[in-house]
Structures are given as structure tokens and as C-alpha cells.
């Protein structure tokens, strides 16, 4: 079986867990101060200098900081913080590894003293130990959650859920068979050592002659599970903990939850107008029509009555006898001015509208070289967007999926739901792949996909910032992608559209100490929720620099 059936996941997601270039694993943290004064000083520096690129537990532009003081030497960390370029140019192996893995972005030069740099790591250590301690209430809550989760480590289970949704859900659910078996209570059927070995490289376990692995392989149409050797032991353990937590739930409730799917995003439903409002509007319309009819009937009667009266003076008689002269109206200067004004106004408005549509491709739906249906893949089979667009949570671009990702399924599935074998055959032709012998030839060629969403070069947009940090769903910008046979540009992607979104989107500050002071200041000045605009989201330099 070809090794090309794996899908790519950037190695940087576990760089501080499994990198072979660590200088000193198990490094002592005794050099990190624990006094409150140093920690407070480090917090101030971190929140004004480091937080733009780093968080304690999450990767942003640079790696997460948690535990770094245990993994790397004091002198190395000080040198790297002060001048990363010098360390990279010196040929330091680990420095170059970080530089390359994080898109060749250098740390900003800092003129901080050694004590100031050390205070930063004192703050990081305090954050780690605070998270580990958690207080009595947090421990009680975690204990209750662990009881409800069947003994699962809830903190790991939360991480495991994300990994499961991104990678495992394509082939597995907890309670029902999909491409692979249901995973409910798998930790009771097999020990964790076996599970980790199978997830890492199922083919190796099968080839070893393991009875259970061979039985699975035969039962599921000899479909190999792609190797996941890029996962660390901790990540695999987190998936197992998530499965434990889900297995502890009643099967009926969990199945309903699986079937329910994800509710629609903002604007999925529309409010209905009450019946009594409709009745009132209809009644008012009927009254207005009756009044207009009565007026039109009364006018001729009054006019006829007045024409027979002799007591009217000459000016009144002229008013009564006057007739509408259409020709005179059409020749009048007032009418000509009115027509010219309307003509110029409409022409000017049309020109402005045309100018505003330059570069706007809303509704653009080009024909692609392969008739790929998002409605079938993302809708019918519920393949998560992150499975194919692997960069959406990690970098600026969502990236075009490689054909190796397609082959994860289509090495076995050789006939499409709507298109038969024709479109899948184009994938095989591009890869120079023979589905009969399951071998790859020497002449692969790329698929020339037609780009749909395209921002101008002068605008900077980062998918990871919006999707991972802002928790924005794909459908917010791309529309109901699960219903699209042919993908079309849903949103205008204009500057005004982006700015309006920033003005309306509320910032989720819950559980993030970075926002505490900002929220405090904002609440003193405004009673409205804090939006992206309030934290600089409409400043020119955020998108144009």
C-alpha cells in the first residue's frame, strides 16, 4: 500500500513536545524567580512586548510559551529573546529549526536587560503553576467533570476534541460506523499502547500479524488508516481521553447529538411578522384605496356644480374651466429642467455604482478542471473544512488541498456520488496513478484550479487570526458552502464589508486576562459591548502596511 495516502499536518503543532533538537530536556527551572515582584514586572513586559506574537498555551505568530523555561537553557533563552537573528546566523541548530518552522519570522530585536528577560519567564512559570494549581473550586469542578466523563482527563479531552474534529471525524464517529469502526469504548477493547501504535502506523500493526488489527483490516474492505506519525504521544492521549469522555455519555443521547450536527450561524433564521400586524396593514391599505376612489368620484361632481354657478368672479371661472394641456407641460422649461435633472442624476448614480463594483467578484463561480462538489463532501459526508484546508488554523492562507488528501478516500472510493468515475479519473490522471495496480507513475502534474476568492495585494488578511483566534465560522464569509455544487464567492469582500464586520463583532474576552484592563477601561466609557473596532480593528495599519 502506497505511503502517499497520508495527509499533511505541519510539524510545528508539536515543536515544543517532540522536536529532536531540544537543547536540554528536563532542564531545571530553579533559575526562574518565584517572588511576586519579579512576576509582576514580567507580566507588564509580556503584556506590552510579547503578547503580540506569543500566548502562554496557544501558538500565534510564535510558539506557545508554556514550560519553555524547563526545556531550554537560561543563556540560550536570553540570547534568543534579545537577538534571535544573531543566534540564527551563528548556525545554532535549534534556532534555525524554529526560524524555518515559523515561516522564517525573526523575533524583534530587544534591548531588555537579563533581569527583565528572566522576569518574563518568571511570569510564564507563574501562569503555568497557576493553571496547574487551579484552586479548590477549579479542582472540585475538574473532579466532578472527571466523574461525569468516565475517568477521562477533561483538560486533555478538550484538546482531543479539536484533533478528533480536524482529523478523525472524516472516517470515524463515536457511536456509528462510517469509513472506519465506531470508537465507543475502544479503550476498553484495546489497551492504550495498542491504540497509540495503531493510530501512529496501522499498516505496521497489521503487518506484524496482530489478530485484531488484521480482523479490522479485512472487515473494513482492506482500507488502511493513514499513518499519523506526526502526532505526539500527548496528542494521541488527548484523543483517547476525548473518546473516553464521549463513551461515558449514554449512547442514545450521544447518537442524537451526532445526528443533530451544527446549528446554523448568525442569520440562519428569520423572524416572522405577527399575523395581527399583517391584518392591520391590509386594513389600512383597503381604507386608503376607498378614500382615493371617493375623492376621484367627488371631483367631477363638484366641477360640474361650480360651472353652473353665475356668482363666481372671472378668476374663479378660469380655475373651474381650465383644462390640462399636456403639450404645454411637455414644452415648459420646468419640465425640461426636471427631465434633464433626472437623466443626469441617474447617469451619475450608475457611474458611481460601476466604479464601486470594480474588483468586486461577488457571485463569481468559474468552472473548475474537476467538478468537485462541496455539497457532497462537506454537506452529505460532513467532511470538516480543516481536513482539506489544513492551513486555515495555522497560517495566513487556507491553502489548496493536495491530491494526496483526495487519495485518502479515493484510493478506495473510485466512483463519485453524482459524477461516476469520470471526475475521480482526473485525479488519478494528474497523479499518474493506476487504480488497478495501485501504483504511481513517474509523471504527475498539478491540477490548475481557478481561484475564486482574491483580495488585492494591498490588503492583508490572516485566516488563522479570524478562524482560530476570532472563532469565525467558514460560512460567515464563504456562505453555505455545504449546499454548493459549484463554489461561488458569497461575500463582496470589500473594505466596507470588512469594516462593518469589525464594528459589529463582539470580542470574546471571557477567560482571557489580556483583555481585563481593556474591558475595564471600555466599560467606564461605554455601556455597549466591546467590539473589534474598540481594540483597533478599523485602524488602517491593521490591514494596510
Q: What is the pLDDT of residue 433?
A: 94
What single DSSP character describes residue 395?
S
Query: pLDDT at position 214, please?
Result: 87
Could you give all domains of the chain from N- to C-terminal order, each with its CATH number?
4-133 (1.10.760.10), 140-260 (1.10.760.10), 275-356 (no CATH), 374-543 (no CATH)
Q: CA 544 from chain center: how many Å?
A: 22
DSSP three-state, residue 477: helix
Question: pLDDT at position 152, please?
Answer: 59
Which H or E run contains 467?
none
Give pLDDT, residue 430: 95
pLDDT of residue 260: 42
What CA–CA distance (Å, rounded) separates 230 from 460? 30
Q: What is the dihedral of CA 146, 149, 151, 152, to 10 degrees?
A: -90
C-alpha 137/C-alpha 338 separation (Å) is 76
Is residue 522 a contact partner of residue 534, using CB atoms and an 8 Å limit?
yes
Regions of the chain where pLDDT drops below 50: 1-26, 132-149, 253-271
pLDDT for the residue numbered 19: 40
Contact 51, 62 (CB under 8 A): no
80: CB partners within 8 A, 6+ apart: 87, 95, 107
Half-sphere exposure (Cβ direction) of 305: Cα atoms closer than 13 Å: 5
**pLDDT tens digits for 177-199?**
877 888 988 888 888 888 988 99
User: What integer pLDDT is reported at residue 2 of this predicted model?
Assistant: 36
CB 226 within 8 A of CB 408: yes
State pTM to two decimals.
Answer: 0.43
| Of 6, 379, 9, nearest in space to 162 by CA | 9
Q: What is the pLDDT of residue 475?
A: 93
Integer Cα distance of 172 and 177 in angstroms? 7
Which pLDDT belongs to residue 22? 39
pLDDT at 70: 84
Which residue is listed with cell 477533561? Answer: 154
- How far is 493 from 468, CA to CA, in rounded Å? 20
Q: According to the 3-state scheme, what is the secondary structure of 355-378?
A: HHCCCCCCCCCCCCCCCCCHHHHH
Gap between the Cα atoms of 496 and 110, Å rounded: 37
Amino acid at each position: 500500500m502506497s505511503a502517499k495516502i497520508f495527509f499533511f499536518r505541519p510539524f510545528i503543532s508539536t515543536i515544543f513536545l517532540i522536536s529532536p533538537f531540544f537543547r536540554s530536556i528536563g532542564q531545571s527551572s530553579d533559575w526562574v524567580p518565584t517572588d511576586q515582584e519579579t512576576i509582576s514586572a514580567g507580566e507588564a513586559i509580556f503584556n506590552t512586548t510579547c503578547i503580540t506574537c506569543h500566548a502562554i498555551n496557544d501558538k500565534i505568530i510564535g510558539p506557545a510559551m508554556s514550560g519553555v523555561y524547563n526545556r531550554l537553557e537560561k543563556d540560550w533563552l536570553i540570547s534568543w529573546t534579545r537577538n534571535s537573528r544573531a543566534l540564527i546566523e551563528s548556525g545554532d541548530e535549534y534556532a534555525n529549526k524554529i526560524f524555518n518552522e515559523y515561516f522564517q519570522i525573526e523575533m524583534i530585536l530587544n534591548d531588555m536587560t537579563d533581569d527583565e528577560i528572566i522576569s518574563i519567564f518568571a511570569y510564564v512559570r507563574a501562569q503555568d503553576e497557576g493553571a496547574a494549581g487551579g484552586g479548590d473550586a477549579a479542582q472540585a469542578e475538574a473532579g466532578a467533570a472527571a466523574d461525569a466523563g468516565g475517568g477521562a482527563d477533561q483538560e486533555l479531552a478538550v484538546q482531543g476534541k479539536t484533533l478528533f474534529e480536524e482529523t478523525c471525524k472524516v472516517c470515524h464517529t463515536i457511536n456509528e460506523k462510517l469509513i472506519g469502526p465506531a470508537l465507543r469504548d475502544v479503550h476498553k477493547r484495546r489497551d492504550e499502547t495498542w491504540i497509540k501504535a495503531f493510530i501512529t502506523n496501522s499498516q505496521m500493526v497489521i503487518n506484524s500479524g496482530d489478530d485484531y488489527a488484521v480482523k479490522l483490516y479485512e472487515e473494513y474492505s482492506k482500507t488502511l488508516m493513514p499513518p499519523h506519525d506526526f502526532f505526539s504521544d500527548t496528542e494521541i492521549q488527548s484523543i483517547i481521553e476525548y473518546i473516553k469522555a464521549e463513551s461515558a455519555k449514554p449512547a442514545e443521547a450521544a447518537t442524537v447529538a451526532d445526528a443533530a450536527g451544527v446549528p446554523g450561524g448568525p442569520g440562519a433564521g428569520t423572524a416572522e411578522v405577527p399575523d395581527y400586524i399583517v391584518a392591520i396593514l391590509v386594513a389600512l391599505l383597503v381604507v386608503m384605496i376607498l378614500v382615493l376612489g371617493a375623492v376621484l368620484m367627488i371631483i367631477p361632481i363638484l366641477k360640474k356644480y361650480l360651472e353652473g354657478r353665475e356668482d363666481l368672479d372671472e378668476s374663479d371661472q378660469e380655475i373651474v374651466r381650465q383644462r390640462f394641456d399636456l403639450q404645454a407641460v411637455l414644452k415648459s422649461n420646468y419640465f425640461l429642467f426636471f427631465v434633464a435633472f433626472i437623466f443626469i442624476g441617474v447617469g451619475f448614480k450608475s457611474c458611481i455604482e460601476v466604479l464601486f463594483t470594480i474588483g468586486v467578484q461577488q457571485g463569481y463561480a468559474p468552472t473548475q478542471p474537476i467538478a468537485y462538489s462541496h455539497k457532497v463532501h462537506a454537506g452529505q459526508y460532513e467532511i470538516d473544512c480543516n481536513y482539506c484546508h489544513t492551513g486555515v488554523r495555522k497560517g495566513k492562507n487556507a491553502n489548496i488541498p493536495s491530491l494526496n488528501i483526495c487519495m485518502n478516500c479515493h484510493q478506495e472510493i473510485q466512483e463519485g456520488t453524482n459524477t461516476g468515475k469520470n471526475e475521480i479519473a482526473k485525479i488519478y490522471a494528474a497523479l499518474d496513478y493506476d487504480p488497478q495496480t495501485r501504483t504511481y507513475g513517474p509523471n504527475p502534474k498539478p491540477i490548475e484550479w481557478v481561484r475564486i476568492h482574491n483580495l488585492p495585494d494591498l490588503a492583508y488578511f490572516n485566516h488563522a487570526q479570524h478562524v482560530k483566534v476570532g472563532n469565525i465560522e467558514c460560512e460567515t464569509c464563504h456562505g453555505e458552502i455545504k449546499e454548493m455544487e459549484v463554489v461561488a464567492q458569497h461575500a463582496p469582500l470589500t473594505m466596507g464589508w470588512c469594516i462593518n464586520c469589525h464594528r459589529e463583532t463582539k470580542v470574546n474576552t471571557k477567560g482571557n486576562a489580556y483583555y481585563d484592563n481593556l474591558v475595564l477601561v471600555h466599560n467606564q466609557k461605554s455601556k455597549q459591548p466591546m467590539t473589534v473596532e474598540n481594540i483597533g480593528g478599523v485602524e488602517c495599519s491593521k490591514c494596510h502596511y
